[in-house]
């Protein structure tokens, strides 16, 4: 899952070395939170107009998680 998020983010940004993904332990509801950090100049590329790209990233991550029996959330820092 972490690799999937990294690949999607690196495909969108200019500074690929600045892409970092950290993973929190599952909370009491079993939701794993992935934190995506990118360079300051690339934040707009990852979020997109009206948050459409961020929403699409979250949808892909949730779909992949459901296939493996997990619950995930993506935070863009």
Q: Where are the domains of the chain?
A: 2-76
Please report the pLDDT score of residue 77 as a whole number.
86
Q: Which long-range contacts (CB under 8 A, 24 or more apart) does 7-15 make?
A: 8/57, 8/60, 9/36, 9/38, 9/46, 9/57, 12/42, 12/45, 12/46, 12/53, 13/38, 13/39, 13/42, 13/45, 13/46, 14/39, 14/41, 14/42, 14/45, 15/39, 15/41, 15/42
From first to last of the 77 residues of the chain, give the pLDDT tens digit: 999 999 999 999 999 999 999 999 999 999 999 999 999 999 999 999 999 999 999 999 999 999 988 999 999 98
Q: Which CATH code for domain 2-76? A: 3.30.300.20
């Amino acid at each position: 899952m972490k690799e999937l998020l990294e690949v999607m983010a690196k495909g969108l940004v200019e500074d690929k070395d600045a892409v970092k993904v950290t993973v929190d332990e599952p909370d009491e509801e079993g939701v794993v939170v992935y934190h995506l950090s990118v360079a300051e100049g690339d934040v707009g590329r990852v979020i997109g107009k009206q948050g459409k790209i961020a929403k699409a990233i979250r949808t892909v991550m949730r779909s992949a998680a459901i296939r493996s029996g997990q619950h995930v959330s993506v935070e863009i820092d």
